[in-house]
Structure formats: C-alpha cells, structure tokens
Structure 1
C-alpha cells in the first residue's frame, strides 16, 4: 500500500482528482478514498464494515469511474452493508453478464424443450411470453425484475384472459427461478404472491365442466342421431367416452397400437400425460367402433383421420360437437362422469378406477410396490361403464 498522502480538509473535487500526483490515499469522506499508486495510476477504494468485518472494496480506476460515479457506488454499497448485505458478493454478481428476460426465456425454452412431448405446448410456451411478457420485461436484466413489473404484465389480461394470464404467470416464474439458480438474481421470486395485487378470477379453481353420469346415456343417444355430426367425429367421441380416455390419446390413436386378438390398445408413453405407456382394455362396444372406423378410415394410419388421411381429426372436433348439441361441458369432463359413476354405482376398489383413468399413484410407497396395471379388473369395470352409457340406445354396438 502506498504511503498515506495529505488529506484535504474537505471532500475531493474533480479538479483535485485530476491534479493529485503524489502516491497515497486521499479521503473523500464516508469511507471513500482516492488511491494514487507509485506508477501514477489512480483508483477508487471504499472502506466499510461488512457483516462485522472491515473490508476494502475497489470501485474502479479514475479513467473509467468519475468522482460522482464513485460516490454513487460507495453510497449504494454502504446502504447494502448497513442492511446486512454483502457488497463484495453484489460486486461479483454484477460483474457477470446478466441476461435480459427474453435471453433467459430463450435459454429456459431450449433446456426444457426436449422434455416436452407436445410440440404445440412448446410453441405456445414461447408465444405467450413473446406476446404478453416481452413487451414489458423483454429487455430488462433479470435481476432488476420485481413484483410491480410482473403485475404490469398480468393486470391487463388477468380477468379478460384468465387461463392465459395464469400460464404467463407460471412461465415468468419458471424463467426467474432459472435465473436465480444460475446466479443471476437473488431473493424471492416476484411472481410468488403476485395474486394478492390482482382481482379474484371467477373461473379460478373450477374443474372441467362435466355431465352427471346419469345424463351420459342420453348424450350418446343424441350424438348418434344428430345428422350434423360426422361419422368419424361420432365414432371418436364414443370411443373416448367408453374408454375414459383423454382427447389427445384418442385422436392420435394409430392402428398399429391395437391388438384386437387380445382386445388391448397400447397407448405409447409420448402421448400419455404421465409419460408412461398405458394399456386400455377393449370392450365389445369398442371393437365394434373400431370395425366401423376401419371401414371409414380409407387406409389411414390413424384410427380417426381428418380430411387428410395423413392427419388425425382436429382437437376441436369434440368441442364443435358439444356446441352443436348446445351442451356446456367438455370432452375431458366425461372422465369425471366415469369417475363419479365408478365411485357411486360400483364396488370396484378406488385404485381400479384410478388406473382406468391412467392417474399416477400418488403414494410413493404404493407406487414402488405396484407391479400390475390391473388390466383385467379394468376390463370388467369398462364393460359395466359401456352398458351404462348405452342404456338409452340399446346394445347394438356391443
């Protein structure tokens, strides 16, 4: 350390900073010093107490940091130290090239994309951020984003587009969690607790709209008799209900997945929500639907092809059928109808009904010891479900 120079009685001036030549340390006040090295180089030094220990923090050379800037940095670090923070850690963090929100989002997208089975979801993930978050957060360094900024993104769409807003909130949270894990920001995620500053969404927490199980037979009767619903859409919808399956599982079904001899449909893992292959037992009614679909599929690899034999039916087909029948329910809701019926009208154990819906076993110990998918018991349960569903239209389909 060079010898201590003469200290001016008052704070330094910009003229003094330029004029001082003698090696030493010159006080500006409040722990800020100008250090003149024997070589003639000049630099700023802050001496302060950090978490009970006296520490020296370099603030940069005079050639790059002016007197005003040095004072501003010193003030910021002193405040942080008084609040119990660590200015040295802050200095190291700011020395890192901190990405903007859109840069961080792109990195998160690229890292997560291989784990997403649905290409549509991958496209929507970035599209929602690009449309709603990037105009406000896009060019902000991730460490500067706070709750008011997130609120500014969500407030305009929170009530008008509630589902979209919740997805945007979740995706912003994912990006900021990644930024914290990567060392680009500290503290709580500003997305947490953000709903306290937003009005209550009336649709929040609602389940998929579903028919009461007692109404399912009359629905199927109407579905079969409506001339405005195509045969392919009708067959696919019946198959979805009778197998208690999800929309994407049914519409993406290929003939290669079916073992008619053993009366099984093997849905591959990439099309299952839980990411595990699932066997669906086929009842007599399901086999009749497959025979009819085969005759209408014109050699398509898909069981329920759309206008082009190379593509399946659109995932809007069930929604359009429900609108035509003027029902405020969803295709997914028929799984709830099945679950309620199984609980109230049969004596099958809960795990059989849950396995029929391809729900994951929540208890980790039970999941570790489960060695069967209960396919034969599920076959019996789905047979009874099919009989219930067709009670208004007879059993001509099985």
Structure 2
C-alpha cells in the first residue's frame, strides 16, 4: 500500500521525512526544498541513496527507480550495486561502461563525458570543495608528501556530495 499520492507530495511543506513504500521517502528541508531518498540495507548496514529533487523527479519516477534498483540481481556478500564478475577486488571492470555503450550502438559516447557532467554539476550546484569532487571521481592527484599528511579519504563528505 502506497502512503503518498502526487497531490500530497505537491502540497506537503512541513520539514521532515515522509514514507511512501519500499524504503522510499520524500525529504523536505527547512528551506522548503524537497527530494527523494531511498533507505535500504546492504550487508547489515543501513544506507541512504538520493534519487533526486522534487519536482524534477516525480513520485512515479521515484517509485520506478526503486523498482528498478530492487530488480537488479545481487551477488551474495558483495557490497557493490554493480559488482564485477571476473576481478579479485569485486569491482566492475574499468571498461564495463564503455563496453555497454558500444553494445548499445553508442561508441562515440565516452565515460569521460559522464565524469565531466558530474564534475560540472558538483561545481555549479553544490558548495563542496574541489578535493571532495575529485575524490568522488577517484581522482587523487596528491603527491606522496601531501598524501602522507592528508590521510582522510573524505568518505562522509563524498557521501554527502553524492546525495546533493
């Protein structure tokens, strides 16, 4: 049974977290901004995944995203949503996205474009420092000396940025 309907979502203004179903929540911030959040559990840990801002992401679309994510086959014990099948580390191969685009008849689209799009959005739409944005993209340009003194992987800030 669904707890929210499109009219409710449109008219809710009180800050808080409003449950729909299957871990989907409408989050309303003190400033009135609304966004969708998926709360799920993976390997015994509760996690939250942002699904986008309302009204850009409608209730129906948020529900479709949840259904799609729930339909992805899981590999028991893997902490990854898209685990690799042949690597020892368990992560997806670096060329997997490119191979997918080629199989879809889109060989001219590169994964670099996805990275550039994320970086542009992070700079234009958030106030996160450049270093956090680079870490999210797995770009660590610190030299050995800087790395020795900067031991943080900025994990919590990276999580927050991915939810923004």
User: Which TM-score applies when normalising by structure 2?
Assistant: 0.47
More helix by share: 1
More strand by share: 2
